[in-house]
Structure 1
Amino acid sequence: MHDFNAWIGKKETVTDFSNLRPAAMMQAILNQPNKQLTELPHLYHWFYFLPVVDGIELAEDGHPKKGNFLPPIPFPKRMWAGGRLEFLHPIGINQNIRRESEITKIELKHGKSGDMYFVTVKHSIFAENTLAIIEEHDIVYREASNQVQTAAAVAPAESQTRNYSYKTQFPVDTVTLFRYSAITFNGHRIHYDRPYAMQKEGYPGLIVHGPLLATLLLHHFTQQYPHKQVTHFEFRAVNPVFDFNEFHICGDIQADQGALWIEKTDGQICMKASVKFKGES
């Protein structure tokens, strides 16, 4: 296997401006009446610092070619695996923002589906030179496969033992996937090119973006508990959600923290998350 240790410690700084438009577009996806925001909701910083790459610089999967900031890992399948975020200060609309990034870890793991590389990038996001968010972003690279990927069925008793403070739905269809890809300038073909997703990457359909699912988790938590101030959020993708799946957005909320998860209607868990907060009930 390749040795990518030389990439650990590599740094990158990107600047941007937190204009209202992408935040308002996400509010439209979520059917939110308030589109004239004064601060970015949690995770909306993902709509900024986007790589603007010419078409000739894209790989077959629609992602920018590797080897610039991220290491040139030869495995073709790459996705968000999860992340950990600490929210220190709000980011206002129309502020100068800066993201300082560093590759902190590269690990090769051996799983049931084959070998995988995990790359962890630490981001420090500043708003007008004030540190606003510290984020650790995990990216997974997998070997190529055109075998249709399936997951084991969930035993009924497993889903019946879960505690729910709330359990709600948000329908996601191909239009939702297109609109989210547009906001994030995400050309990854598994989200809109069904023949590519099925024939090249072995999926049974289009994949719902991991960051979109994470955003739905935190959005619905704040809808249920608008007076709680989120301080930490951690999420991990467990199983993919496809465009034909129905799923629930769930939470089990305690005094100052809670478990959040995405659950398909058959009980299968697709994303696990945790949230810490302070504030009134």
Structure 2
Amino acid sequence: MAKKSIEELDLYSILDIKLTATESEIKKAYRKKALLCHPDKNPDDPKAAETFHELSRALEILTDKAARDAYDKVLRAKEAAKLRHRELDSKRQKLKEDLERRERDANLSSAKVLTDEQKLAAEIARLQKEGSRLLQEEQQRVKEEIQRTLGRLSEPVWDSNLNRIKIKWSVNKNDTNNGGYDENNLRRFLKKYGEILALIVSPKKKGSALVEFATKEASEMAVEFEKGLPDNPLTLKWVNDRPILTTKKKVTEPSLISDRDYESVVLTKMRQAAERQRLIEEMMKEEQGQ
């Protein structure tokens, strides 16, 4: 498909801005759309490069005063022509078009008066020859932002589900006090290292518990330093022998439920109950396999 000329494009619609938009508003609109349609972000979309190119052309022209003035003049002329066209019947329109064609031919032959379209073409040619510093800066800014986003997605992150810690201590099978440990005092020992996402004492096997911390640092400190009661020390070990890091998942569309709604008291309790039950089931499966 042949590339459209500037006269055929509505540069304001491409950037989704008003005709009165300031340079700051133009650049902001460009960045917003360019981040979505940049070819680096859409490698499987054959139209991404063309769309990005049109955005760049729109930015280049509308942020250059002389080029924008020339484009606006052509745009106003086209709108006025459309209005006149609607007001004329087909016969009068044909006569008008013939007259305008003869006038254009006369202007071209005289080579003394430039049409609005020719003035716009001259401004575009000037921009292409000089190179648009602003366009290059904005394109580089968009590219860097995309690279930062892709880089963040590949950064290693902590997943507490993959990094549970097994807690063991000595206990006699007839000891109703479970060796001096229950969920409350285990939590008291462990909370100094950081936020605890889940903690469950085995309901079946005495002297055993599982804990999940919110951060890698809290988990590592607990494993290294926590000893529990002096007369019955704790042993903390990774369930998977060592810490495991994963990578961020792609950002999905935002949820319709806000964070505040999600963290309401009722939903928080439901989530904690579900997590507790899940840990109990996993602990019992693990103990059955031993």
**Range of TM-score over shorter length:** under 0.3
Q: When you count helix as a share of all residues, which structure comes out higher?
A: 2
Specify which structure has the bigger relative contact order, considering alpha-carbon pairs within 8 angstroms and separated by 6 or more residues: 1
TM-score of the superposed pair, with normalisation by structure 1: 0.23
TM-score of the superposed pair, with normalisation by structure 2: 0.23
Q: When you count strand as a share of all residues, which structure comes out higher?
A: 1
